[in-house]
Amino acid sequence: MVVVRILDQVVGHRVAIEKLLRTVEQERLPPSWLFVGPQKQGKKLVALGVAQAFLCERSRAACGNCPSCQRVARRQSEGLILLEPQGPTIKIESARQIVNDLSLTALGRGRVVLIDDAEKLTAQAANALLKSVEEPPPRTHFIFIAPSRDSVLGTLRSRSQIVRFGSLTREERSAIGGEDVDVEIRTRAVQVLVEMLGSGRVDAVAQLREQAGDRETALLYIKLWLEFIRDSWVLKSAAGVTKAPAATQNESLNSDLLEQLQVLSAYPFEKLGLASRAILQAERDLQSNCDVNLTLENLVYQNAGS
């Protein structure tokens, strides 16, 4: 039989995984976890790995070999209840189905309910789950996955223990074969950011409208901007201490855009901090369906004014 230990397939996130495994080992799992962080970085795989560890018949860290581990690896375990959106939202019927499944007696070691894209739960669906989250049946645990804390209904969030996931480094991303964003798009995105933080508000608004007028592109730009700000933060911190420039460049995710990143890193920390806060706010606005052009316009004016 092939050994499939899901956590071995995860790239990165070592700190989060260690912490989660310790909780499983000590049998101190909370009724509900909320995994938050950028999309497509492996949160769901980590969640499946944790479920495998929890349900494993032989080891608290998942053996990958026992019947339970094999079933979880095939996503066919009776202990794993998986809910993913089939459309733009997760509707109340799906939530009710889960509540119903949970009313049946659990076989095996327990149950993990994994809800991916939990930001897509309608308010009714989230509320239908609340009671089960608050008072889950014995050995039943929820894992909600969402891009950010604030994208999930407050009542669910407040009942969940939050686990934060960062972005993978460029090396980690290429290790999982995740496609990198095209260099042309990254170059354009960094130029707009430079423009936005500079004084060219009119230009920045016009450029953004032209380049990122649709929601999907706007969200991609936002993801890139946050990376760029992080990079310039790294550059800036490195400038204050003695460190070989090569090491600095390696730590930087987008070292091919070093020239523009250096322009950004010349700004004070405070301005970069304000900018990332404004960008995160724009991300939330876009995720809650605010008008794309208005959101971007707001963002430019906030940054130019700060």
Q: Of 59 and 302, which has the nearer Cβ to Zn ion? A: 59
Sheet holding 161-164, edge to edge: 80-83, 111-115, 140-146, 32-36, 161-164
3-state SS, residue 136 = coil
Q: Of 46 and 69, which has the nearer Cβ to Zn ion? A: 69
Is 63 near Zn ion (CB under 5 A)?
Answer: yes
Q: Contacting Zn ion (CB under 5 A), which of 7, 20, 51, 66? A: 66
The answer to whether 90 and 153 are in contact (CB under 8 A) is no
Q: Of 57 and 210, which has the nearer Cβ to Zn ion? A: 57
CB of 92 to Zn ion, least distance (A): 35
The answer to whether 92 and 124 are in contact (CB under 8 A) is yes
Is 4 near Zn ion (CB under 5 A)?
Answer: no
CB of 32 to Zn ion, least distance (A): 24
CB of 196 to Zn ion, least distance (A): 51
CB of 65 to Zn ion, least distance (A): 6
Is 56 near Zn ion (CB under 5 A)?
Answer: yes
Neighbours of 216 (CB within 10 A): 10
Cβ neighbours for 296, distance < 8 A, ≥ 6 positions apart: 205, 208, 209, 212, 218, 282
CB of 33 to Zn ion, least distance (A): 21
Q: Of 109 and 277, which has the nearer Cβ to Zn ion? A: 109
The answer to whether 258 and 187 are in contact (CB under 8 A) is no
Mark the segment that binds Zn ion (CB under 5 A) among 40-48, 58-66, 225-233, 282-290: 58-66
Phi/psi for 265 (5° steps) reads: -70, -10
Binding site for Zn ion (CB under 5 A): 56, 58, 63, 66, 69
